[in-house]
Chain A
Amino acid sequence: MAGAGGGTSDVQWCFSQVKGAIDDDVAEADIISTVEFNHSGELLATGDKGGRVVIFQQEPESKNQPQCRGEYNVYSTFQSHEPEFDYLKSLEIEEKINKIRWLPQNAAQFLLSTNDKTIKLWKISERDKRPEGYNLKEEDGRYRDLNTVTTLRVPIFRPMDLMVEASPRRVFANAHTYHINSISVNSDCETYLSADDLRINLWNLEITDRSFNIVDIKPANMEELTEVITAAEFHPNQCNTFVYSSSKGTIRLCDMRASALCDKHAKQFEEPEDPNNRSFFSEIISSISDVKFSHSGRYMMTRDYLSVKIWDLNMESRPVETYQVHEYLRSKLCSLYENDCIFDKFECCWNGNDSVVMTGSYNNFFRMFDRVYRQDVTLEASRENSKPRSVLKPRKVSTGGKRKKDEISVDSLDFNKKILHTAWHPLDNIIAVATTNNLYIFQEKLN
C-alpha cells in the first residue's frame, strides 16, 4: 500500500540531490520561479526572481554505481534579465524569470527565457579548445613590430578546461502591454508564441523587430473585462494548433490555418457548473493556472486551484479525468482568500509516457496521479528526508476529527511552503521539484 504511485504501482521515489541554501531567511531574489528539463533531459534549467538562470547538467552514469542515474551539477549560470523602470508608463518591470523553454537540440543548446515584458534567446555553448601559438603578439598582448616577425606560424587548437558560455542571441522586446505569462516553442522549430493577460503574439525565432498578434481578448471598454489569459501552449506536433486557458476556467483551442487573428476559437473546453453550487469563490478557484499538452498530443491537462483535469481534445464538454489535489482546502477558502493563497499559480506536468501527472501543493507537498493504475500519492520535499537514496514516505493530510499517527492536520499545514513548479525528465523517472528557494531532485529507486 505504501509508496505507490508514479509509472507503475511499484515505483518508489528516493531523494537524490538538493540545490540551494539551507538558511531560513530567504532573499527574494532566490525564489525559484521556473524549472524546465531540455528535450533529452540532460540539462535542467531554473529561473529565479532575481532574473538569474542556473543550468544543471546530468553527469554520465558511472560504472561504479549502476543503481544511480547521473547526478545533476552546475553547468552554467547567467543573469538573464535585469530590473527596469518604464518611465513613460510609470511601470516597474520585474526581472523575475516567468518561464524558460528549451529549443529542440542542435549542436549548441538554445533556450528562451522571459520576464513580464521581454523574451530573450540564449545560446549555451561549450568551448574546450583554444588556439595557441600566435607569434604576432608579445607576452603582454601588444602587437609586435611586424619587422621583427620573420616566420609564419599557424596557431594550433589545444585542449583547455571546459568553458560554458551563455550569450544572448535575440532580444524580443516591446510587444506586450500586459504581463507575459507563457512562451511556447512551435514544433516547426521556427516560431514560438508569447502570451500576456490579454494577447498572444507569434514570433519567428530569427526576427526580433516584429511579431504577429494572433489572439486579442481586450474589450473595447476595459470596464467590461471579465477574463484574462492565464497560459498558452503550442500542440506538440501539429504546428498550426495552440491552446490558451483563462481565469474563468475555459480553454480555447485555435487553428492558425483558419484565420490570421484567432479570436474565434476552433474548440472551447469548459466543464459545466451546477449553478446551485456557485459561490463567491467559484470563479477564482476555477481559474486555470497551467495548461500542458500530453506528449502524445491527444490530451491536455489543466490545473486550477483545487484540482488537475485531463481533457481529451476530441471532447469539449467535460474533462475525461479529474484529480483532487487538496480538496480539504475547500473549507478553508475564506482564510486562503484573506492571505492571498487562493491566487497561487500551481503548475503541472506529465511524465514521459503520459501515464502519470504531477503537481505541487502546500507544506512542501507534491502529488502524483497515476492514470493507469488509478493511484495517487503525496510526497514531501524537505531537508529531513534528504539522506542520499532514502526512500520518500507517502504523506497524508487528515481531514476528519481523528488524526492518525504520521498524519498532519489541515490547520498545521504551512501555507508559505508552496511547491508551484515541478518538472519531469522526458525519458526517465527523475523529477525536479522546486520549493521556495531550493531545488530537489528525486529519482526512481532502482534495485
Chain B
Amino acid sequence: MSGDNEETQTAGETSADQREVPDKVVNPEKSEEAKLKSKYPNLGNKPGGSDLLRKRLQKGQKYFDSGDYNMAKAKIKNKQLPTAAPEKTEITGDHIPTLQDLPQRKPSLVASKLAG
C-alpha cells in the first residue's frame, strides 16, 4: 500500500523523488544542519558528545547552600531577597536560590483522572 517500508542498509536514504532534485535538497539533514549553524554560530561540532550527555545525567540537580542563603538574608535585612530567575542560562555560583525556589512538593493527594 505505501512505499514507506524498506529493507535497506542505510538509514539516511531519501525518497526516490528527491534524488532527482539538485544537490541542496538531496540531503535534507545537511541543509537542516546549515540552517541550525546559521542561527547558532557558536554551536560546537560535537553534537552527541559529552556536553549533551552530561546535561542529561545532571537532570534534577538543584543547588542550595544554606550558608549562602543565611548570609544573604543577614546582609539584606530590609531589602527583599533576590529571587531566582527561571532561566536555564543561570550560572550556579552567581545565583543564590531561596527557599521558595526549592521544590516544596507534596505528593499528589488527588486521584488520577484516568480513574475518574
Interface residues of A (CB under 8 A from B): 1, 4-5, 19-21, 29-30, 32, 46, 48, 50-52, 54, 74, 77, 79, 82-83, 85, 89-95, 116, 178-179, 197-198, 222-228, 247-248, 271-274, 277, 279-284, 286-287, 304, 306-307, 318, 320-324, 327, 330-334, 337-338, 369, 374-377, 400, 437, 439
Contact = CB atoms under 8 A, between A and B. Distances in A.
Contacts of B56: 197, 228
Given A4-B1, A284-B47, A52 B12 contact: no
Contacts of A374: 5
Contacts of B36: 280, 333-334, 337-338
Interface residues of B, number: 55
Contacts of B17: 400
Given A46-B114, A179-B59, A400-B17, 11 more contacts: A82-B107, A83-B107, A92-B60, A225-B57, A274-B10, A279-B32, A322-B6, A322-B7, A322-B11, A333-B36, A375-B1
5 contacts: A50-B110, A116-B60, A281-B29, A284-B47, A284-B52
Given A91-B62, A323-B5, A327-B15, A227 B53 contact: yes
Nearest to B14: A330
B76 interface: no
Interface in B15-69: 15, 17, 27-33, 35-37, 39, 43, 45, 47-50, 52-54, 56-57, 59-64
Q: Which of B12, B31, B59 has the most CB of A within 10 A?
A: B12
Contacts of B31: 331
A79 B107 contact: yes
B53 A321 contact: no
B112 interface: yes
Given A92-B103, A376-B2, A283 B47 contact: yes
A84 B115 CA distance: 24
Contacts of A223: 50
A29 B108 contact: yes
A197 B112 contact: no
Nearest to B50: A225
A222 B54 contact: yes
B111 interface: yes
Nearest to B17: A400
A82 B105 CA distance: 9
A223 to B, nearest CB: 6
Given A280-B33, A284-B47, A320-B7, A54 B115 contact: yes
Contact of A272 (B9, B39, B59, B61): B9
B112 A334 contact: no
A221 B99 CA distance: 34
Nearest to B64: A90
Given A93-B60, A279-B29, A333-B29, A20 B114 contact: yes
Contact of B63 (A90, A304, A333, A400): A90
B91 interface: no
Nearest to B25: A331
B86 interface: no
A89 B53 CA distance: 19
Nearest to A272: B9
B62 to A, nearest CB: 5
Given A90-B63, A94-B60, A279 B33 contact: yes
B113 interface: yes
Contacts of A284: 47-48, 52
Contacts of A318: 9
Contacts of A330: 14, 28-29, 32
A277 B35 CA distance: 16
